Amino acid sequence: MTDRTLRILFAARDDKWDEYRPYLTRALSETGLEADLSRDHPAEEVDYIVHAPNGGLSDFSGFPRLRAVLSLWAGVEDIVGNDTLEVPLTRMVDPGLTEGMVEYVTGHVLRHHLGMDAQIHGLDGEWTGAAPPLARDRKVTILGLGALGAACADALSRLNFDVAGWSRSPKDLDGIATHHGEDGLAAALGHGEITVLLLPLTRATEGIVDAGRLALMPKGAVLLNPGRGGLVDEAALLDALGTGQIAHATLDTFRTEPLPKDHPFWTHPRVTVTPHIASATRAPSASRAIVDNIARAERGQALENVVDRSAGY
């Protein structure tokens, strides 16, 4: 561990500085790190950068002492290809973010499983008496089995849903039928009466849910996308909604955000729009995660949640 005061640069929007400063300061104090946290350290003195891509800093070439960049965001597609970044980049894995995603996904899977929209919007005097199946008879697929996807798959499995998952590389999760590779993707999509997208956005996953993949899903399936807007071919999804191949889409992320007011998703009767609220990084727990990672590096240990630049996440 260094015997001098660390210089930590906070490179995010003004409102995030006001939100994070007290929690980062407290975590640094509790961890025992001698550190000076600021928004305006001279570049040549900076040891670590706490970074958000919308904070304005995109050129990392003028930081000769820089040891790592720690992202405030779980998604790193806006920085991973930055050629000026030559030090390790870590992505945010925050217990609060994970809990929020599990709650969002579980809530909307249950909503669609139970057919709650019909009751909420009114049955128009029709006493149908049709009960939904039990969770054990409902097939759910999770595309993406990283920290968020695995946590959501586990929560749904514990509720007794028949859960399958797909990831780029093989994964082994208790109670989950896991798939990988192109054949595995077809099997996972064919399983999901409700499919949840929690993949990272990379060159390999851009537009992965296209017309062909939508056609592999069971007729009348439901699509949930709290992951990345770029995973979905929006025109193909609208077509699939029009034919009834997809019965409903609940979408939290979009290719353009905020979603333009004239976008057809807003008024489509079988689309639910939520404004990128599925989960958020919580300053208290995220600050602790960032400081704990810096402390690991200062003890000579490997950083956690380092981004594989070649894979894109």
pLDDT digits (tens, 9 = 90+) for 246-295: 999 999 999 999 999 999 999 999 999 999 999 888 999 999 999 999 99
Is 305 a domain residue? no
CATH number at residue 18: 3.40.50.720
pLDDT recorded at residue 123 = 80
Q: Is residue 237 assigned to a domain?
A: yes
- Domain of residue 250 covers 95-273
Q: Are residues 82 and 148 in the same domain?
A: no
Residues 268 and 286 in one domain: no
pLDDT at 280: 87
Whole-model pTM over 0.95: no
- What's the rounded mean pLDDT across residues 18-22? 97
Please name which of 202, 171, 164, 162 lies closest in space to residue 186, comparing C-alpha atoms: 164
Q: What percent of the chain has pLDDT over 90?
A: 91
User: Do 150 and 75 belong together in one domain?
Assistant: no
Number of domains forming the structure of the chain: 2
Q: For residues 120 and 260, state if they share a domain.
A: yes
* 138 CB-near residues (< 8 Å, 6+ apart): 113, 132, 161, 162, 193, 194
Active-site residue numbers?
228, 276
> Above 80 in pLDDT, residue 43?
yes
Q: How far apart are CA 175 and CA 172, in angstroms?
A: 9
Over residues 93-99, the mean pLDDT reads 92
CB 233 within 8 A of CB 227: no
Q: What's the token pair of residue 280?
A: 């958020």
Same domain membership, residue 158 and residue 131? yes
User: Which ranges of the chain would DSSP assign to H, the alpha helix?
Assistant: 14-31, 95-114, 116-121, 147-158, 181-191, 211-216, 234-243, 283-298
On whether both 252 and 117 belong to a single domain, the answer is yes
Residues 34 and 108 in one domain: no
Are 149 and 191 part of one and the same domain? yes
Residue 71 pLDDT class (50, 70, 90 cuts): very high
> 147 with 88, same domain?
no
In a domain, 312, yes or no: no
Q: What whole-number distance in Å separates Cα of residue 233 and Cα of residue 148?
A: 22
Q: Cβ(228)–Cβ(74) under 8 Å?
A: no
What's the pLDDT tens digit per position in 160-214?
Answer: 999 999 999 999 999 999 999 999 999 999 999 999 999 999 999 999 999 999 9
Say yes or no: 99 and 230 in one domain: yes
* Whether 227 and 146 share a structural domain: yes
